[in-house]
Amino acid sequence: MNKQVELPKAFSKERLLELAHQMWLIRYFDEKVDEFFARGLIHGTTHLCVGQEATAAGACAVLNEQDKITSTHRGHGHCIAKGADVNRMMAELFARETGYCKGKGGSMHIADVDRGNLGANGIVGGGIPIAVGSALTAKMKNLDYVTLCFFGDGASNEGSFHEGINLASVWNLPVIFFCENNQYGMSGSVKEMTNIENIGDRAAAYGIPGIVVEGNDLFAVIEATQEALERARNGGGPTLIEAKTYRWKGHSKSDAKKYRTKEEERFWRTEKDPLVFMANRLIEAGLTDEQEWENIRLQAKEEIEAAVRYAEASPQPSLDSLETDVYA
Amino acid sequence: MREITYAEAVREAMSEKMREDQDVFILGEDIGVYGGAFGVTRGMIEEFGPERVRNTPISESGIAGAAVGSALTGMRPILELQFSDFITIATDQIINQAAKIRYMYGGKGKVPMVLRTPAGSGTGAAAQHSQSLEVWMAHIPGLKVIQPSNAYDAKGLLISAIEDDNPVIFYEHKLLYGMKAEVPEGLYRVPIGQADIKREGKDVTVVATAIMVPKALQAAETLAKEGIQVEVIDPRTLVPLDEQTIISSVSKTGRLVVVHESVKRAGYGAEIASMIAESEAFDYLDAPIQRLGGKAVPIPYNPELEKHAVPQVEDIIQAVHATLNREGA
Ligand SMILES: Cc1ncc(C[n+]2csc(CCOP(=O)(O)OP(=O)(O)O)c2C)c(N)n1
Ligand SMILES: [Mg+2]
What pLDDT, in 10s, does the model give residues B164-203?
999 999 999 999 999 999 999 999 999 999 999 999 999 9
Distance B317 CA to ligand 1 centre (A): 40
Q: What is the pLDDT of residues A262-274, one digit of tens each?
A: 999 999 999 999 9
Ligand closest to CA A51 = 1
CA angle A262, B81, B272 (to 5 degrees): 145
Distance CA A42, CA A53 (A): 22
Q: What is the pLDDT of residues A6-46, one digit of tens each?
A: 999 999 999 999 999 999 999 999 999 999 999 999 999 99
Chain A residue numbers touching B125 (CB-CB < 8 A)? 44-45, 106, 108, 122
What ranges do the domains of chain A cover? Answer: 13-319
Rounded to the nearest angstrom, the minimum Cα separation between B93 and chain A is 13
| Cα–Cα distance, B166 to B233 (Å, whole number) | 25
Ligand 1 atom 19, closest CA: A185
Q: Which residue in the set B34, B89, B123 is minimally distant from A186, CB to CB?
A: B34
- Edge to edge, the sheet with strand B230-234 lists B196-199, B230-234, B204-208, B256-263, B290-294
List C-alpha distances in Å: A191 to A153, A257, B54, B55: 10, 16, 15, 13
Residue B60 bears catalytic tag: yes
Domains of chain B and CATH, by start: 3-182 (3.40.50.970), 196-325 (3.40.50.920)
Distance (Å) from CA A151 to ligand 1 centroid = 9
The verdict on whether A28 is a catalytic residue reads no
Nearest neighbour of A187 by CB, restricted to B32, B60, B298: B32
ipTM of the complex as predicted = 0.97
Q: Which helix or strand (DSSP H or E) is residue A117 part of?
A: none
Q: What is the mean pLDDT of residues B132-153?
A: 98
What is the least distance, in Å, from the CA of B131 to any CA of chain A? 13
Instruction: Report the CATH architecture of A13-319.
Output: 3-Layer(aba) Sandwich (3.40)
Cβ atoms B43, B10 nearer than 8 A: no
Q: List, for residues B8-36, the tens digit of each pLDDT value.
A: 999 999 999 999 999 999 999 999 999 99
Report the Cα B253 to chain-centroid distance in Å.
25
Sign of the four-CA dihedral B54, B57, B60, B66: negative
Regarding the beta carbon of B58 and ligand 1, being less than 6 Å apart is answered yes
Using an 8 Å Cβ cutoff, are A229 and A62 in contact? yes
Whether the per-residue pLDDT at A174 is higher than 70: the answer is yes
Distances (CA, A) of A316 to A57, A91, B9, B127: 31, 10, 39, 18
Instruction: Flag if B34 and A106 touch (Cβ within 8 Å).
Output: no
Catalytic residue among A251, A281, A297, A310: A251
User: Using a 6 Å cutoff on CB, does residue A188 contact ligand 1?
Assistant: no
pLDDT digits (tens, 9 = 90+) for A103-149: 999 999 999 999 999 999 999 999 999 999 999 999 999 999 999 99
C-alpha to C-alpha distance for A205 and A166, rounded to whole angstroms: 9
